[in-house]
Chain A
Amino acid sequence: MPTRIVHKESLIPGTTSKLVLDAPQIASTAKPGHFVMLRIDEQGERIPLTIADTDKEQGTITIVYLVMGKSTAALENLKQGDSILDVCGPLGRATHIEKQGTVICVGGGTGIAAMHHIAKGHHRIGNRVVGIIGARSKNLLLFEKELSSFADELLISTDDGSYGHKGFVTELLQQRLAADKSVFEVVAVGPVPMMAAVAKTTQPFGVKTTVSLNSIMVDGIGMCGACRVTVGGETKFACVDGPEFDGQLVDFAELRRRLGAYRSQETLSLEQYRCQCHG
């Protein structure tokens, strides 16, 4: 059954939007860390998107996407009230959440939305949540309001200094870890280079570091191996063994290369789509 978009909100015009989907079955079982696979129409490709929030009473889930290629561009063309043909989930292993003390949740770019759900889970169980979010510029910062509504602290950085600390999230993280020994875990969700940098930053402190990997996926249920990543020298399937892994063990360089495997076909697909749209 197609899934209806009950609410659509543009977060960064033309590139990032938030969709609230009517998916009661998924909402009732989804936990922080889970994702869905969705396919827009008959011709569509299955793509993975993180569940950024759920409302169990309303029976809805929230997704936030960055327009990258054909599928996300087509998603951006849908309106409130339209339907998505296939939405499958919740998939992946849920985040391990336990009451332990202070957790630092780092988010970059669109990853802030995904991180938001994890941070909320930590908050609900009673952990002290320090959020660190970053973007290139102030107008590209997502979910600040949502996060500040529950986070015990929220630190912000922008590359251009238009808001908060001028620089990278890792600098804020570094300062914080040096000053605060009560942190039991750092969670990072964002672009691959950011997650790699976070893992490098936390390493000297020996603090547990969890990252959420966004490898290319086909089925999302463990049947193809497209999503394989090397963790601690072993091959893992991000869709069933992850998507969260120990940041110190992930081969980020390999992940970044593998994400580019289909670049020329993806460009072709997007160009064709843009041509059709603009007649």
Chain B
Amino acid sequence: MDNAKPKKVIAPRTEMPCQPAAVRARNFKEVALGYTPEMAIAEAKRCLQCKKPGCMKGCPVEIHIPEFIAAVTQGDFDAAYRIIKGTNPLPAVSGRVCPQENQCEGKCILLAKGQPIAIGRLERFVADQHIAGTACEEVSGSSTCTMAPLCDDGNKVACLGSGPATLSCAGYLAANGIKVDVFEALHEAGGVLIYGIPAFRLPKDVVKKEIDAMRQLGVSFKTNWVGGRTVQVSSLLEQGYKAVFIGVGAGLPLFLNVPGENLIGVFSANEYLTRVNLGRAHSFPAGSDTPVYPGKHVTVFGAGNVAMDAARTAMRMGAESVHIVYRRTRAEMPARREEIEHAEEEGIQFEMLAAPLHFNGDANSVLESVTLQRMELGEPDASGRRRPQPVEGAVYDLPTDLAIIALGTRSNPILLDATPELDKNKRGYIVADEETGETSIPNVFAGGDIVTGAATVILAMGAGRRAAKEICKRIKG
């Protein structure tokens, strides 16, 4: 017997059950099925309850992670929920789509052994226990609605856009009794959570439930209101809103700027995903009037989460083959590991070290193929990443009838052009105070992608929360 073994033996990380790849690759139901209570408790018990928990430093909304995990080990999921909800208004969302490996789990002490606590999965589990209940339960953590009494009706705040930045801002304010009116340009609230991230990663019901919970707290959502068009920032302040929060995201899609990009069959990932998610094109024509372009041999350009989502959506829409084309290698792909693995399991192929030169169409300008340049990795550049460079003479064609460009986005000009008093940085995003989110216009705040450029759900939520804290302080003193 080995007596000199004082350390706790840590069980391996509890796997998350998933729909089998061959089945899920053709449906829009959620891929990851979530923990059972037994699995959650087993996973929670692996946590060392560190005195100085690294995990918390990695969470932009400061969830009290060891505390909620301790509650899970006790089987007290209600308590766990209240702890999480205390700082995070959308745990069912962040538990699913947060890049945990770079956030909380990336700072967990157990990472050194390659087996950090599955914090995101636990968060999702706890939130889902409540999603199953009513909206009131979700908000207050109990079965009765404990709405904070609305303070003076004159104290209202307007939010523009309804993505995670706004939802977290509005949630915090509403919980503090402040009336919030959200103005959203599209016909449905939720931002990228609704029109971008597909249902197989984030079911739309989950988002709707969280939004309904906010409605119950008195937040009103006004859809079809375009900031800078239907309503101006200055007029909101004149109408008596005490503060305005701008969370309009970074929506303008980038294209490759190569010849043939306007052929029929070439789309931005935003268009492709918006048609399927917001327009529900997967049930065209019986259940939806919005069509999406059909493709048998699909190519997707880019290698982030958006590219993975587009590729996996195309597969579910009936593609025979889907290639992700990327000019570097798999190791440099910016998408979450889990998403890359899931995509691969579903049959997505990776065409690495290849860059598009031009798209080729038939006589009617319908896409037929893309001409690619073979690349290789050269010397590291200033950032330390090895720079892709063309392999001379290595040019080839890949047949494709549907090409989806997922290269990222720029700031949308509608609101910014209409509000010249808002200071912008060189890249065209709003300049906002790091601590409070206040912009160059007093009492006008901004956060999320419109400040940082395309980033993550949790960073947007963190920004919304910081702005809300400051707004609350100013209103309530």
Contact residues of A with B, CB < 8 Å?
1, 25-26, 29, 39, 43-46, 70-71, 85-91, 218-219, 221-226, 228, 230, 235, 237, 240, 254, 257-258, 260-262, 265-266, 268-269, 272
Contacts and interface: CB of A to CB of B under 8 A. Distances in A.
Closest 6 CB pairs of A and B: A265-B291, A224-B271, A223-B251, A88-B224, A45-B289, A225-B268
Contact of B289 (A44, A85, A218, A221): A44
A235 B414 CA distance: 18
B268 A221 contact: no
B187 A221 contact: no
Given A45-B290, A90-B229, A222 B224 contact: no
B185 A88 contact: yes
Contacts of A1: 222
Interface stretch (B145-153, B280-288, B296-304): B280-288
Contacts of A44: 289
Contact of B230 (A89, A230, A265): A89
A235 B73 CA distance: 56
A67 to B, nearest CB: 14
B230 A29 contact: yes
A39 B255 contact: no
Contact of A228 (B224, B262, B294, B413): B262
A172 B141 CA distance: 73
Interface of B: 185-187, 222-226, 229-231, 251-253, 255, 257, 261-262, 264-265, 267-268, 270-271, 274-275, 279, 284-291, 293-294, 364-365, 412-414
A272 B255 contact: no
B251 A269 contact: no
B296 to A, nearest CB: 14
Contacts of B275: 218
A59 B326 CA distance: 52
Nearest to B196: A223
B262 A230 contact: yes
B230 A88 contact: yes
B306 to A, nearest CB: 13
A43 B293 contact: no
B231 A25 contact: yes
Highest count of chain B CB atoms <10 Å: which of A25, A225, A240, A262: A225
25 contacts: A25-B225, A44-B289, A45-B288, A45-B290, A46-B279, A86-B224, A88-B187, A88-B224, A88-B226, A89-B230, A91-B226, A224-B253, A224-B270, A225-B267, A235-B257, A235-B261, A235-B262, A240-B252, A257-B365, A258-B262, A258-B264, A265-B291, A269-B291, A272-B285, A272-B286
B228 to A, nearest CB: 10
Nearest to A44: B289
Contacts of B414: 221-222, 240
Contacts of A223: 251-253, 270, 274, 412
A268 B274 CA distance: 21
B156 to A, nearest CB: 18
Contact of B412 (A222, A228, A266): A222
A25 B230 contact: yes
Contacts of B267: 225-226
Nearest to A276: B286
Contacts of B364: 257
Contact of B288 (A43, A86, A222, A257): A43
A225 B271 contact: yes
Contacts of B186: 88, 219, 221
Contacts of A90: 229-230
Nearest to A39: B187
Given A29-B229, A88-B230, A260-B264, A46 B187 contact: yes
